Amino acid sequence: MSFIPVMAAVAGAPGAQPGALVQFLPLIILFVIFYFLLIRPQQQKQKEHEKMLSKLEKNDQVITAGGIHATVVSVADKTASVRIADNVKVEIEKSSILTVVKQRS
C-alpha cells in the first residue's frame, strides 16, 4: 500500500477558505494597536501644545525648539516677540515654542 495517492487526493481536495474578515483580522488588530500606541498619544500631545500656545502671555518664560531660554515680550496670531538678552528681541513662530517654564507675575 502506498501513501502517495492518499496524499495527492488530500492535497488536491478543495478546502474551506477562511472568510474575508478572518483574513484581514490580523491587519485590523495591528492597526488598532498602532492607533492606541502611536497615533492617539501624538494627537493628544499636539492638542496640549496648541492649548499651551493659546494661553501664552507677556512675561512668560519659554524654551524654544532651538533651546533658547527667553521671555515673551508680545504675542501675535502666529508669532511671538521674545527677549533673549538685554536689548535683544527676536520674533519667532509660536509653534517653535516647546514649553513655558514658568509664568511671571
Q: How do residues 47-105 score in pLDDT, each as one tens digit?
A: 999 999 999 999 999 999 999 999 999 999 999 999 999 999 999 999 999 999 876 55
Mark whether 24 and 61 lie in a shared domain: no
Residue 2 lies in a domain: no
Helices and strands in the chain: count of H runs, count of E runs: 3, 5
pTM over 0.75: no
pLDDT higher than 90, residue 9: no
Average pLDDT over every residue of 12-31: 81
What is the number of structural domains in the chain?
A: 2
Residue 89 lies in a domain: yes
Residue 8 lies in a domain: no
Domain with 95, as residue range(s), is 57-105
At residue 18, the pLDDT reads: 77
| 89 bridge partner residues | 83
Among 16-20, 34-38, 99-103, which stretch is predicted with the lowest mean pLDDT? 16-20
